[in-house]
Amino acid sequence: MARPVSIYWFRQDLRLADNPALTAAARDGAVIPVYILDDDHAGDHRMGGASRWWLHHALHALNDALDGKLVVLQGDPATHLAALAVASGASSVHWNRCYEPWRIARDTAIKADLTARGLVVDSHNGSLLWEPWDVTKADGTPYRVFTPYFRRGCLSAPPPRQPIPVPSPLVLVATDYQAAGIDGLRLLPDTGWDEMLAPHWQIGEAGATARLAAFIDQDLLGYKDGRNFPAGPNVSRLSPHLHWGEVSPNTVWHAAKDRMDAGMVNHEDGDHFLSELGWREFSHALLYYFPDLPRQNLQPRFDAFAWKDDTDALRCWQHGQTGYPIVDAAMRQLWQTGYMHNRLRMIVGSFLVKNLRLHWHHGEAWFWDCLVDADLANNSASWQWIAGCGADAAPYFRIFNPITQASKFDPNGDFIRHYVPELAGLTNDHLFSPWEAPRHVLDAANVVLGQTYPHPLVDVKASRLDALAAFAALKDTA
């Protein structure tokens, strides 16, 4: 008797282990694994360049893990899934849920269509520790402040489920259905970005597993304080692996929790890391309940804020040419690696929306294109947070001083010297504010302001006062 066939639709869950939808599909019978690139439904949220680069390599890693049986398609998923079901005789379709508004609308329509065709269609939770609708206030409304969301909501809810193993048996079915193939998606940029980003990452489930093990074994100890220093080791660098689902949040959560429970990591470090996973959950809950989060201020009074329009200043910020070494180092790290340290994301964000007073949309768009972990929920919520207009936001009048931030969190100048090598010859006394260095010091370091390194784009003190005045005017009209 022929084994029943099930279709498993890979999305942002490019892994075999701890994959609830894949496990369910394998339980139904032999599995046709499929990935469908859908740029049309994504609209304005079509993947940026760094994301497409990561996806290209992630799909190759996944296909290798599936013995070359991954069906890779491009176009309308509704059309492809229905046709693939007919061609293969599949009786069921499984996928893990995504929470972007455009995906929710699309997937709801697909589920209705496939069900009407007689297929069994099941969606599963393979991307979050808690579903957004399971963590709400007592009156059923969503949290808008992180601490009660996490402490009162998440930690009072049932704990995250334990990870599940790779399904066994996992019988994969080859199909003759017309496929684009991974290379046919043309995901790689036509610049040198591929060669530039590749040395910094081990993409795929095996890379995610190795990265998690290294972090848990070596760098979680000291995380609470060490995570603020961009030249230090105490960061997980798991964000792209989590975004693409090369490792599940449940696997990450329990790996850290098991170390804490075994006494191998102190609870202060462990709890702080778990709360960072909580911020990821919070961002997804915000996007679920406030689907306009990527474009609309959560605090409507900011709709009247007097943003500036300065394309030259924006370009300098994007390319790490602001004249503020910590900002420039961070922006160059982003371009060269597809990643930026979290402390630096706050510094460069504050500089853009407060010192330059440029709309947070500009920062969100640049990060969307350049980050390998570009995630609609995290990116939108984080930019609204730094701009002061979002949920549980940093007040607009909290303005990060790039000079003091550099001296505090890159005290030896290691990070700046790595990414801004033209300043490497300066001593720490002048590295963080080179425009204040005497001429003979600049000459000795081969620094010529305005030529080898730019003059400051703005004065931080004057621009801070300018930002505060704009905020005060906003309050006056509220």
Domains and CATH numbers, the chain: 5-126 (3.40.50.620), 128-163+205-289 (1.25.40.80), 300-477 (1.10.579.10)
Cα 357 to Cα 388: distance, rounded to the nearest angstrom: 12
- Residues 279-293: tens digit of each pLDDT: 999 999 999 999 999
Is-catalytic flag, 360? yes
Q: Average pLDDT for residues 427-450, to the nearest whole number?
A: 97
Q: Catalytic residue among 279, 317, 335, 366, which?
A: 279
Return contacts of 423-426, CB within 8 angstroms, 24+ apart: 423/325, 423/447, 423/453
Strand-pair category, 120-124 with 5-10: unpaired
Residue percentage of the chain with pLDDT more than 70? 99
List 9, 366, 383, 385, catalytic entry:
383
| Residue 181: HSE in the Cβ half-sphere, 13 Å Cα cutoff | 3
Q: What is the CA radius of gyration of the chain?
A: 24
Give yes or no: 383 in active site.
Answer: yes
For residue 64, give both structure tokens.
């290798």
Bridge-based pairing of strands 5-10 and 92-96 is: parallel
Angle at 39 between CA 38 and CA 45, to 5 degrees: 120
| pLDDT higher at 267 or 327 | 327
Q: 49-81 burial by CB neighbour count: b if 16+ within 10 A, else e?
A: bbbbbbbbbbbbbbbebbeeebbbbbeebbebb
Nearest to 132 by CA among 281, 290, 298: 281
**Does the annotation count 435 as an active-site position?**
no
Which of 266, 307, 422, 428 is catalytic? The answer is 307
Sign of CA dihedral 295, 43, 205, 336: negative
Give the pLDDT score at 1: 45
Mean pLDDT of 183-196: 89
Active site residue 385: no
Assigned token pair, 113: 């269509």
Q: What pLDDT is attached to residue 178?
A: 83
Average model confidence (pLDDT) across the chain: 95
Residue 477 has pLDDT above 70, yes or no: no
Single out the catalytic residue among 125, 131, 266, 342.
342
CB distance 440 to 381 below 8 Å: no
DSSP letter for 437, please.
Answer: S
**pLDDT for position 2:** 66
- Cβ-proximal residues to 95 (8 Å cutoff; 6+ apart), any chain: 8, 9, 10, 11, 21, 107, 123, 124
Q: Which one from 125, 131, 276, 428 is the annotated catalytic residue? A: 276
The question of whether 253 is a catalytic residue gets the answer: no
**Whole-number pLDDT of residue 385:** 95
Q: What is the pLDDT of residues 378-402, one digit of tens each?
A: 999 999 999 999 987 677 888 999 9
pLDDT digits (tens, 9 = 90+) for 307-358: 999 999 999 999 999 999 999 999 999 999 999 999 999 999 999 999 999 9
Q: Residues 256, 270: contact at Cβ < 8 Å?
A: yes
pLDDT over 90 at 474, yes or no: no
Would the CA dihedral through 105, 107, 108, 109 be positive or negative?
Answer: positive
**Nearest-angstrom CA–CA distance, 59 and 47:** 15
Q: Residue 478 pLDDT more than 60?
A: no
Q: Which of 53, 95, 193, 360 is catalytic?
A: 360
Cα–Cα separations (whole angstroms), residue 211 to 20, 28, 215, 355? 22, 32, 6, 36
